[in-house]
Amino acid sequence: MPASRSGGATVSAAPPYDALLLVSFGGPERPDDVLPFLENVTRGRGVPPDRLTEVASHYHAFSGHSPINDQCRALAAAVRDDLAAAGIPLPVYWGNRNWSPYLEDTVATMAADGIRRAACFVTSAYSSYSGCRQYREDLFAAVAGAPGALRLDRLRHYFNHPGFVVPFIDATARALATLSPEHQDEARLLFVTHSIPAAMNEASGGPAGGGAAYVRQHRDVAMTVAAAVASATGRVLSHDLVYCLRSGPPRVPWLEPDVNDHLRQLHATGTPAGVLVPIGFVSDHMEVIFDLDTEAATTARELGMGLARAATPGVDPRFVAMVRDLLLERSRIERGDAAADRAVTGALPPSWDSCPADCCRNARDPSRPALCGLDSPMVRT
């Protein structure tokens, strides 16, 4: 059913939703943006200025332009086209946490456009404070500051949805095939994600979910991909979960091992090659093109190790179609269809629609309100 307008409001093609909001991290688009962007990202975290200067140099090495906003534009356009082709031409909006277009501005535009209830697709697939609750806090603030009545529902975590996982399976097999033939049977699969403080991992998923969801979810994806690659290629390869982008003070424990340290350790024990699989990222933004394609690639080259890198989903049609699947799944559930199909891979069940109470707790400000959870205060919904 196509979307239409009635008295300034959208009549939903996927009831009860009359819009889809793409929620992302944001990134600088020119050199003058870099330091203000990094200050936004790290505000209140006590990151020393010299660390900001170091990270800023990563962006300046790429002309001060992060690819993430371009990738969000491409994803929004692809999702819009996919929905329209399926007869669901909902308006697709886009807002960022840390750079323009800011969530508060996008939500204000949505309210002015007459949107009353929107589903939110967050470009972070896993549970954690920085990957989930922090977005939910910003959504709360954006809705609280918008005129009128607007309700936002976050679509579930999709770390184990086939539309996210299967592109990684195919990309890993392709990357493996680019290594020297004599290394392909001995290569190691290195599943890479963003490091976070160990305490943040322990809080992820909340008490009701058993905690430590961040690592548990990544390990499930890694095992699923590794098993599928073995089935597709006939090569049963060992694999590890490794991390990049540690940014906290040395006294605070963060998830380890670092990808570069692990490459050195593998080399010392005779592993000839590795395949980097960036399962923590939905697209090739700065963390991928600098930390993996630049830093890790340099480490491997200095060691004389073979190295290949699997692609992220980006705008793979299966990933794009997953957004529609999640939207329609949640639409059916909100209409009372408790038997709605929920596509998953691996050993873990589909994630929750509303986060449990105290899920992915904010360690610095536990009282800060967030939307889309069982403990969320109502904000004109």
Confidence (pLDDT) at 39? 87
At which of 254, 274, 309 does a domain end? 309
Q: Is residue 344 a part of any domain in this protein? A: no
d(CA 310, CA 322): 20
State the CATH number of the domain containing residue 126: 3.40.50.1400
* Residues 198 and 168 placed together within one structural domain of the fold: yes
Confidence (pLDDT) at 110? 97
At which of 309, 326, 347 does a domain end? 309
* Residues 140 and 115 placed together within one structural domain of the fold: yes
List helix spans (H) across 286-352.
Answer: 286-289, 297-303, 317-334
pLDDT tens-digit series, residues 323-339? 999 999 999 999 998 66
Confidence (pLDDT) at 1? 30
pLDDT tens-digit series, residues 225-236? 999 999 999 999
Confidence (pLDDT) at 6? 32
On average, the pLDDT of the chain sits at 92
% of the chain with per-residue pLDDT over 70: 94
* Residues 82 and 151 placed together within one structural domain of the fold: yes
* Residues 71 and 117 placed together within one structural domain of the fold: yes
**Could you give phi then psi for residue 88, rounded to 5 degrees?**
-130, 65
Helix (H) or strand (E) holding 85: helix 68-85
Tell me the average pLDDT across 66-87.
Answer: 97
118: three-class secondary structure by DSSP? strand
* Residues 87 and 228 placed together within one structural domain of the fold: no
> Residue 44: left (phi > 0), alpha (psi -120 to 50), or beta?
left
* Residues 145 and 213 placed together within one structural domain of the fold: no
At which of 309, 325, 357 does a domain end? 309
> In 10 A of CB 249, how many CB atoms?
11
d(CA 147, CA 333): 28
* Residues 210 and 270 placed together within one structural domain of the fold: yes
Domain count, the chain: 2
**Whether pLDDT at 73 is above 80:** yes
Q: Is residue 366 a part of any domain in this protein? A: no
**Which residue type does 299 have?**
T
Q: Is residue 41 a part of any domain in this protein? A: yes
* Residues 181 and 229 placed together within one structural domain of the fold: yes
Q: Is residue 365 a part of any domain in this protein? A: no
Q: Is residue 357 a part of any domain in this protein? A: no
Q: Is residue 89 a part of any domain in this protein? A: yes
Output the CA torsion sign for 365, 370, 375, 378. positive
224 CB-near residues (< 8 Å, 6+ apart): 160, 165, 169, 345, 346, 347
Residue 9: pLDDT band with limits 50, 70, 90:
very low
Confidence (pLDDT) at 46? 66
* Residues 78 and 171 placed together within one structural domain of the fold: no
Q: Is residue 359 a part of any domain in this protein? A: no
Single out the residue of 297, 72, 345 nearest to residue 175, CA to CA: 297
Tell me the average pLDDT across 232-247.
Answer: 94
pLDDT tens-digit series, residues 145-187? 898 889 999 999 999 999 999 999 999 999 999 999 999 999 9
346 CB-near residues (< 8 Å, 6+ apart): 160, 165, 220, 221, 223, 224
**Whether pLDDT at 5 is above 70:** no
Residue 47: pLDDT band with limits 50, 70, 90:
confident
- Residue 234 corresponds to which tokens in the numbers above? 């006939």
Q: Is residue 373 a part of any domain in this protein? A: no
**Whether pLDDT at 379 is above 70:** no
* Residues 117 and 224 placed together within one structural domain of the fold: no
Secondary structure, 3-state, 218-279: HHHHHHHHHHHHHHHHCCCCCEEEEEECCCCCCCCCECCCEHHHHHHHHHHCCCCEEEEECC
d(CA 158, CA 221): 11
Residue 240: pLDDT band with limits 50, 70, 90:
very high
d(CA 91, CA 18): 7
238 CB-near residues (< 8 Å, 6+ apart): 188, 189
* Residues 35 and 108 placed together within one structural domain of the fold: yes
Of 4-13, 57-66, 242-251, 346-355, the range with the lowest mean pLDDT is: 4-13
- Beta strands 273-277 and 306-309 are parallel
Q: What is the value of pTM for the model shown?
A: 0.93
**Whether pLDDT at 208 is above 90:** no
Single out the residue of 211, 182, 194, 206 nearest to residue 246, CA to CA: 194
Query: Contact at 8 Å (CB) between 37 and 97?
Result: no
356 CB-near residues (< 8 Å, 6+ apart): 205, 206, 207, 208, 209, 373, 374
* Residues 324 and 218 placed together within one structural domain of the fold: no
Q: Token match 């993430």: residue? A: 68
Where in the sequence is the domain holding 238, given as residue range(s)?
Answer: 162-309
Query: Contact at 8 Å (CB) between 263 and 296?
Result: yes
